[in-house]
Structure 1
């Protein structure tokens, strides 16, 4: 296969903040074309859980998302902090903070990019099983999260009705439902 990668000639940071950084790259294609500017959004690595309680219920979160102005259902997860020793530990921390649950087993099931043409990060998916409520939520200052439990049939109906709009969460559910044998191709 032909190598289609570009060479980065220079980068300039236009904006830097905790959760979002914007840079402008000057790139050269394999055939010598110069692409300028090429904007790249830098985000932290994300972890997302398809989490099941010990009795097999799927844990979903309901929260407001300002960019779209919607309150919707999502999966638990968040950003990997610099202090998290591993992706799994970041996921377990996010699960405890957002839902109050801890889990017997956490299995890596894949990753995706929200938009590889502009975003530089990955979203890593996990299947967490054997969940038990062990604490109250410890939410960030900007979070207000309601936790709901869904059966597999209720979850699949929710997906059929476009009840989960976050595309990476839909992808994580696709991976997890397939892994659990609840979705066949």
Structure 2
């Protein structure tokens, strides 16, 4: 649906193309008729993240090194939606199994969010997964190295209160998950 504030795309040119990242340079016309040259947009695949609870009520978290920050951080499990994933739920179930070795009896969507609507095209889709049972070892991608952490709800709240969740999309997933679990109020 069109909005009166929408811009019109005049021209678009890719300046960088790789399987997991594309960058383009757009020329647009604003709603008031001003031309905007060299507006750079980054295209990523969509991502999926989960607030994942084991059958024992522990929150599954992962710890891994992130080159962008140059440090090891704690995050929620998740990753890129692959072209082979039939649905977003399939994508998060695959990511949970690959990263943690757990499968879940119940997975439900909690919504979607944009990391930066001004410059990126993708969305992160959040899921609430419950009834997690460990069924296998991790099956990580070639460059993935991560530890699985089992945390109590109170430990997760403490990480958020102490600003120890560095990835903003992951912090948002945790807040939505805590609300869904009845552990926080709106």
What residue is the counterpart of 1:90 in the other structure? 91
Q: For 2:7 and 2:42, how far apart are their aligned partners in 1?
A: 17
Look up the SS of the partner of 1:39 in the other structure: strand
**Does residue 1:167 correspond to 2:145, yes or no?**
no
Equivalent residue, structure 1, for 2:179: 178
Give SS of 2:86's match: coil
Corresponding residue of 2:154: 153
Residue segments in structure 2 that go unaligned for 5+ positions in a row? none
What is the CA distance between 1:3 and its match in structure 2?
A: 1.8
Query: In 1, Cα distance between the equivalents of 2:45 and 2:66?
Result: 18
TM (normalized to structure 1)? 0.98
**Which 4+ runs in 1 deviate beyond 3 A?**
none
Q: What TM-score, normalized to structure 2?
A: 0.97
Cα distance in 2 for residues equivalent to 1:151 and 1:85: 32
Specify every segment of 5 or more residues in structure 1 that has no aligned partner in the other structure, as ranges. none
* Residue of structure 2 in register with 1:127 after alignment: 128
Conserved? CA contact 1:110–1:175, under 8 Å: no
Aligned to 1:6: 7
- Alignment check: 8 A CA contact 1:52 1:130 kept: yes
Deviation per CA, 1:3-58: give whole Å up to 9, x if none. 21100011000000011100000000111100001100000010001101001000
Corresponding residue of 2:66: 65
Structure 1 residue 184, shift from structure 2 partner: 1.0
Separation (CA, whole Å) in 2 of partners of 1:120 and 1:148: 31
- For residues 68 and 166 of structure 2, the distance between their equivalents in structure 1, rounded to whole angstroms, comes to 13
Q: Distance in 1 between matches of 2:105 and 2:115?
A: 29
Partner of 1:29: 30
Where does residue 19 of structure 2 map in the other structure? Answer: 18
1:113 matched to 2:114? The reply is yes
Supply the distance in 2 between the matched residues of 1:170 and 1:110 (Cα, whole angstroms).
14
How well do the aligned residues superpose, as a CA RMSD in angstroms?
0.8
Shift of 1:106: 0.2
Aligned residues: 184
